[in-house]
Amino acid sequence: MAEEQPGTLTGTSLDIATENRFKLKQLFPTVFTETKNDKGELVESVDFEKLKAEMGLFTDLFESRRERYGMDWSGKKEALRLIQTPSSATLKPCREESVNFDTTENLFIEGDNLEVLKLLQKSYYGKVKMIYIDPPYNTGKEFIYPDNYSESLETYLEYAGLIDGEGKKFSTNTANEGRFHTKWLNMMYPRLYLARNLLRDDGVIFISIDDNEVSNLRKMCDDIFGEENSICTFIWKRRQNVDSRSKNGASLDHEYVLSYGKQTNAKLKGGEKDLAKYSNPDNDPKGDWMSADMTGLATKDQRPNLHYDLIHPITNINYGCPTTGWRYEPKRMKQLIENDEVLFPKNPEGRPRRKKFLADLQSEFTGKSSIFKTVFNTHATRELRDLFSGIDYFDFPKPVNFIKEVLTQSSIIPHGSYAELDIILDFFSGSSTTAHAVLDLNKQDNGNRKFILVQLPEPCSPDSEAFKAGYKTIADIGKERIRRVIKKLNQEEEGKLDFGESNTQDRGFKVLKLDKSNFKQWQKLDPSTPVAEIEEELFKHIDHISPKATPEDLLYEILLKAGFTPTEKIETKTLADQNVFSIAEGALLLCLENTITKELIDAVAESEPMQFICLDSAFHGNDQLKANAVQTFAARNMQREKHNQIVFKTV
């Protein structure tokens, strides 16, 4: 019978229709789907044509359907539409919560990760080396995300208390809802789609998941990344001891980590070969070697040329032929013997082996095992507890060494060289284990990895230890963890001799917070809108900059929307007696002064930036001055290469 919810007793007699549907679902689960009713609500329904086909009762209608392989669900079209809807939000800098704000290239972004991923598209498109995420597992407990496609930002702002509203909250997802899997797919699909855009061509994504959604996640990733770009579905043995509380006798000791490349050329480092096996007991001039098997893998019928008797050229001992033959054909075997690279045993019953020299290795790495089993969940709890003075502030964090093992598979430091900048992204950052792992690993191998973390300011329960300690949100816990890790690493280096390596370590992070734009957005009006309303909307845009916006707020919003990262080097310089921000060594010049002069325009043109941006209001309605500015840059561009033109814009 269909199960009732624990602890509840229905006040009605048996629902026959529900019971019949339950029985039918046990026999034919594939015929059940989700469709929208007349009210636009998602309801579970039966595909009767498919039911007939399952029973062998084919109809012309079913046979005429166009079949295709793929993954579909109710809401996928809306998810695709959501991906294509641009965000007008901004990321506001928060100096007081940051560490080394002006010099760091690490980011902690507080906000809804969907909006944030949209905002990062211009500045980080194709720049991220590795993404690791640990998303909600959809275990039947609640997870939250903005459910209404049309008001994602507004819902978030109200949720985070950044604007007044009707107290809207993010939606929840529990196992007793009809849209259980659909809601999870609709949440994940646009985020993964946008994440793929951010990966470098050799970039890799790793996604932790458990049994609840692993099959759906795999199909969804095949859809987004391409089945041919699947690298491996790793298994992580997260539990050290079996679960004695199991209700069905099975102890779920593992989780999965799906890995995909941006393109088919993406690959992992692999596992390190055991070089301790190599030595040189006979002082061979070719260097260290190890004894290697020379038996083949093919039968005589398959490879007759590999089946022959191997005879010692001096002792004439015949060692015969293995049942699977030798690995090398006679000509190659003769060369190995002449080069003294074959080890002949004294016993005729023994098996000749080959000297395999370390110098001949093409790589120090072998295949990476698909099973992670070096660290367990208990280590993660202990790590976080140690950082926070023995108190548990976060449930089910990932172990630092587990994330480091994943990192080392995709962010590789060449021997004896300083690593290029590898950007690591985690947009379900939780307690900030990824940042902890990046900082630790950089210290360990002198790496130059940078992290971007995104976390929703999900409220901590008022009765939790975290809330009592002053951490109001999960994001607050994550930020504090990074601060404590930085402090710990710096303390470990105090008193040590500085050989220059510590100067390369970026131990800071810049906090940015998702918020509505500092510029009033023009609202599209219907052609039938009364003239009075159109005039009112126009008057709103006479001064379209928020009076609460600081110059730094404007600076960071313009940076993002001009395609520059918020970690670019920013300097202030004086041109024609006015202050101008110089970004990325002068690639962008930005003036936020209230007045623009001809002298400033000339000075900017002389500096030859890639872009110059200023406030439209700074022209004070002087169209002639603006036209002169356009002509000044056009004249300068006539003298420059086509790919090196100055772009002039106003906001």
- Model pLDDT, residue 11: 34
The predicted structure's pLDDT at residue 438: 96
Helix (H, G, I), strand (E, B) or coil at 351: coil
Average pLDDT over the chain, rounded to whole? 83
Of residues 339 and 157, more confidence is placed in 339
Domain identity same for 471 and 568: no
What is the mean predicted confidence (pLDDT) over 521-527?
A: 61
Q: Reply yes or no on whether the pLDDT at 134 is more than 70.
A: yes
pLDDT of 463 > 70? The answer is: yes
Confidence of residue 45 (pLDDT cuts 50, 70, 90): confident
pLDDT at residue 318, as a whole number: 94
* Residue 251 domain-assigned (yes or no): no
Note the pLDDT of residue 5.
Answer: 40
Is the same domain home to 191 and 59? no
The reply to whether 608 and 634 lie within a common domain is: yes
The answer to whether the CB of 263 falls within 8 A of the CB of 229 is yes
Host domain of residue 183: 92-136+178-244+375-515
**CA 292 – CA 289 distance, rounded (Å):** 9
What is the value of pTM for the model shown?
A: 0.77
Report whether pLDDT(327) > 50: yes
- 214 and 114 co-located in one domain: yes
Reply yes or no on whether the pLDDT at 534 is more than 50: yes
pLDDT value at 235 more than 80: yes
What is the spatial distance between Cα 111 and Cα 187, in angstroms, rounded to a whole number? 15
Confidence (pLDDT) at 8: 35
Evaluate whether 615 touches 650 at the Cβ level (below 8 Å): yes
| Same domain flag for 96 and 222 | yes
pLDDT for 249 equals 75
What are φ and ψ of residue 207, in 5° steps?
A: -130, 120
Does the pLDDT at position 102 exceed 70?
A: yes
Q: Are residues 559 and 464 in the same domain?
A: no
Same domain, 389 and 511: yes
Domains of the chain: total: 4
Q: Pick the last residue of a domain from 515, 540, 559.
A: 515
In the chain, the percentage of residues whose pLDDT exceeds 90 is 45
What is the rounded CA–CA span in Å between residue 449 and residue 132?
A: 14
Same domain flag for 131 and 209? yes
Query: In terms of domains, do 558 and 610 share one?
Result: yes
- Compute the Cα dihedral for 530, 536, 542, 546 and give only its sign: negative
Domain membership of residue 594 (yes or no) is: yes
Residue 208 lies in a domain: yes
What's the angle, vertex CA 556, arms to CA 155 and CA 200, rounded to 5?
Answer: 85
